[in-house]
Amino acid sequence: MGGGSGARPAGRQSWRDLLFLHWPVPLDTLRPLVPRGLEIDAFAGESYVSLIPFEIIESRPEGAPRAMATRFLETNVRTYVRGVDGEPGVYFFSLEASSLLAVTAARLLFGLPYFHAAMRMRREGTEIEYASHRRGGRDATVEVAWSIGDASDVAADGTRDHFLIERYCLYVARRHGLYRGRVRHRPYPLRRATVKHLRQTLLSAVALPAPSDPPISHYSPGVDVEIFWLERVANMPR
């Protein structure tokens, strides 16, 4: 699913052990934090923010041998938007990564708000513990433990699960322009997830309210991904 309109990918990654945590957030809270050229997307009248910790077991430029691939942990905070042409995607408020090389490359090449973090993950059977603390002293952390449950179907088109999970492009504002970057992968295989512990300050670090309710949660063992270069889609409104 998704794709780059026949273009050559910029790179390839393998995403594993993804935990999707979602909370409804009032649109009026999100609007000042999202570029004006993007429409905030909603499902059944609700807009959402998500926190997603996972592992990238392989990341390499297109055409590079696997021996050059890097492996690191990543956590992102995102919301759901539509571009000027109505294409659904995501907008990232922040992304943490344990690889300084990945942080530097993503900032330079894609203009994404990556931060270097001290991160760890431990898995024993169906139990996973994950922690991240942004380097530099800022209070931007997450500690989460979850249990992987039974397999469920891939998210069906038209459902809330599909709205929250099956997104195939990102939007980023840079140099007075709005850009779109696409990814391509198969639909996420999903399993149920039980969150046993969660403490996080990543949302408040980007001026989002701290959730008072438990998250909607999903787990995926992962997908292999093709990543495409950014394309300019609009000028930023002044």
- What are the 10-residue block averages of pLDDT along the chain, 238 residues in total? 71 97 97 95 98 97 89 98 96 98 94 97 98 90 97 93 97 92 97 97 95 95 97 80
pLDDT number for residue 234:
83
Q: Can you give the pLDDT at residue 191?
A: 96
Q: 125: which DSSP letter?
A: T
| Phi, psi angle pair for 103, to nearest 5° | -60, -50
Residue 6 confidence (pLDDT): 59
- Report pLDDT for 139: 87
Q: Answer for the pair 54, 66: CB distance below 8 angstroms, yes or no.
A: no
What pLDDT does 176 receive? 81
Query: Strand 88-97 vs strand 114-124: parallel, antiparallel, or unpaired?
Result: parallel
Q: What confidence score (pLDDT) does residue 65 get?
A: 87
Tell me the residue length of the chain.
238
Q: Residue 188 pairs with which residues in a beta bridge?
A: none
CB hemisphere CA count around 64 (13 angstroms): 15
The predicted pLDDT at position 82 comes to 97
Token pair of 135, please? 């380097």
CB atoms within 10 A of CB 212: 6
Supply the DSSP symbol for 46. Answer: B
Under 8 Å between Cβ of 30 and 49:
yes
Helix residue spans in 86-191 (DSSP H): 100-110, 160-165
Burial 64-103 (b: 16+ CB within 10 A, else e): eeeeebbebbbbbbbbbbebeeeeebbbbbbbbbbbeebb
Distance CA 96, CA 73 (A): 8
